[in-house]
Amino acid sequence: MFTIETNGREIYGRLVTTGEYVYVQTIGERIHRIIPAEKQEIDGTKEELWIAPGLIDLQINGFAGYDLNMAEADLEQRVKAIGLMTREVLKSGTTSFCPTVITAGFEQIHSSLTAIRLACERDPFIDSCILGIHLEGPYLSEQDGPRGAHPLEHVKDPDWEEFCAWQEAAGGRIRMVTLAPERSGAVPMINKLVQAGILVCIGHCAASHDEITAAVDAGARMSTHLGNAAHSHLPRHPNYIWSQLAEDRLIPSIISDGHHLHPSVVKVMARAKNNHIVLVSDAVHLAYMQPGIYKTHVGGEVELLPSGRLQTVANPLVLAGAAVSLAECVQNFRQFTQSDLQTAFKLATLIPARLIGEPLIGDVQTNGLADILTFTWNEAEDKLNLKTVIKRGEMIFSAAKA
Ligand SMILES: [Zn+2]
């Protein structure tokens, strides 16, 4: 029907962003045209094919056995692991992500950042998948609960000189910083980070209402996994969860894996924020591994349950990161909030893309980058079945060949 240049492709399906039937034509790494189409009749045994933008995950610590924060391995091993991990992440439908480096000593954070920089410098494909680094810590709360599984001996007050040394090791790739607004020096630190073009996120904190407001006045724009990394008991009001929910300038990220937040909390947050929310996986290296007890640097021994819940052995109430993909979080969000597919996808595509400042991804748009998923939706099981993953025009995953 259409003439496509040899390096292009044409995909027919129903666009998740509009509900329309279209042909999406790609040439090279870009979307060339989106052409309206008639609904094609399919036989009763098949399901309709949907087309969506590739998912964007602003918080990934590891995946499928690969760990971004591993302490012992040498630099070359780590660089290799980042490459292998990136390919596994892509197969799950996430075409862009922010590898997340967590609280540790100066040298360990330095080497984690160096490994990510080297992986990006050596392989343009890895570089195209990594939007930037999310530095979660070490300027976080010391208190049990808000600190989560971040090691007590390494959490501290913000230190701009130290941050600059890390940013240099990262080759300027740190693009998000999560910090606690109640830390001494937090506001001047936020000012400097915002001036440097970095997305500042409030998280792992025990801040007062005024401290949260001051951080937002200084330019903080996201709440990191809101509702988690919190005390198990809070004053009924005000508290740091209400304050962040009520602050319209903050977009919260949430982990809708079914374990980090009760479905009712996800629903209330979605309503309070009018769906201006970012879904993150917060996946750790045990995502997609067999259930069992594992030894990790995050909180020592952790247990992965068959349900996908990942908790510390010392205190089963403390979660140690998540073990599901972002695609599953999209599926859960839709279920927990009774929203449509379009809304659920937006939280893992357009909203994170615009929040971090990436105009060419997060949407299926003419001249945008051809980061595209196709999937079918099983309404009876309420389940998303990924069919293909295309990254910058290149087919990375096909369920037919898997
Ligand atoms: Zn965290």
The mean pLDDT of 350-358, rounded to a whole number, is: 98
Ligand 1 centre to CA of 124 (Å) is: 29
pLDDT computed for residue 358 by the predictor: 98
Expressed in angstroms and rounded, the spacing between residue 224 Cα and the centre of ligand 1 is 7
Distance 179 CA to ligand 1 centre (A): 10
Tell how far the Cα of 389 is from the centroid of ligand 1, in angstroms. Answer: 28
Ligand 1 midpoint to CA 170 (Å):
20
CA distances from 34 to 40, 155, 212 (A): 16, 49, 43
Ligand 1 centre from 229 Cα, in Å? 6
Is residue 236 exposed (0-12), middle (13-18) or buried (19+ Cβ within 10 Å)?
Answer: exposed
Q: Which pLDDT band, with edges at 50, 70 and 90, does 402 fall under?
A: low
Does the pLDDT value for residue 307 go beyond 90?
no
Kindly give the distance from the C-alpha atom of residue 84 to the centroid of ligand 1, in angstroms, as a whole number. Answer: 23
Helix 160-169 and helix 186-195: axis angle, to 10°? 40
Are 317 and 311 in contact by the 8 Å Cβ rule? The answer is yes
- Whole-number Å distance, alpha carbon 155 to ligand 1 midpoint, is 13
Q: How many CA atoms lie within 13 A of 23 on its CB side?
A: 14
Q: Which CATH number fits domain 8-52+363-398: 3.30.505.50, 3.90.650.10, 3.20.20.110, 2.30.40.10?
A: 2.30.40.10
Local confidence band at 368 (pLDDT 50, 70, 90 cut-offs): very high
Indicate whether 52 pLDDT > 70.
yes
The CA 310 to ligand 1 mean position distance, Å, reads 13
Write out pLDDT tens, residues 164-204.
Answer: 999 999 999 999 999 999 999 999 999 999 999 999 999 99
Distance from the alpha carbon of residue 136 to the mean position of ligand 1, in angstroms: 7
Ligand 1 center to 384 CA (angstroms) = 27
Distance 317 CA to ligand 1 centre (A): 15
Confidence category of residue 43, pLDDT binned at 50, 70, 90: confident
* CB-based contact 135:178 (threshold 8 Å): yes
Residue 2 clears pLDDT 70, i.e. is over it: no
Note the pLDDT of residue 57: 98
* Average pLDDT of the residues of the chain: 94
Q: Which residue has the tokens 């259409």?
A: 2
Output the CA 298–ligand 1 centroid distance in Å.
Answer: 11
Q: How far is the CA of 253 from the centre of ligand 1 (A)?
A: 11
**Ligand 1: centre distance to CA 223 (Å):** 11
User: What is the pLDDT, as a whole number, of residue 1?
Assistant: 45
Residue whose structure tokens are 């740190």: 174
Give the DSSP letter string of 154-221: G-----HHHHHHHHHHTTT-EEEEEE-TTSTTHHHHHHHHHHTTPEEEE-S----HHHHHHHHHTT--
Mean pLDDT of 238-249: 98
Pick the range with the lowest mean pLDDT from 53-67, 91-105, 241-255, 295-309: 295-309
- Could you tell me the distance, in angstroms and rounded to a whole number, from the CA of residue 87 to the centre of ligand 1? 23
Q: How far is the CA of 344 from the centre of ligand 1 (A)?
A: 22
Q: Which CATH superfamily is domain 55-356 in?
A: Metal-dependent hydrolases (3.20.20.140)
**Cα 309 to middle of ligand 1, angstroms:** 15
How far, in Å, from the CA of 313 to the mean position of ligand 1? 18
Judging by beta carbons within 10 Å of its beta carbon (0-12, 13-18, 19+), is residue 74 exposed, middle or buried? Answer: exposed
pLDDT value, residue 401: 74
Domain edges within the chain:
8-52+363-398, 55-356
Within a 10 A sphere around the Cβ of 331, how many other Cβ atoms?
21
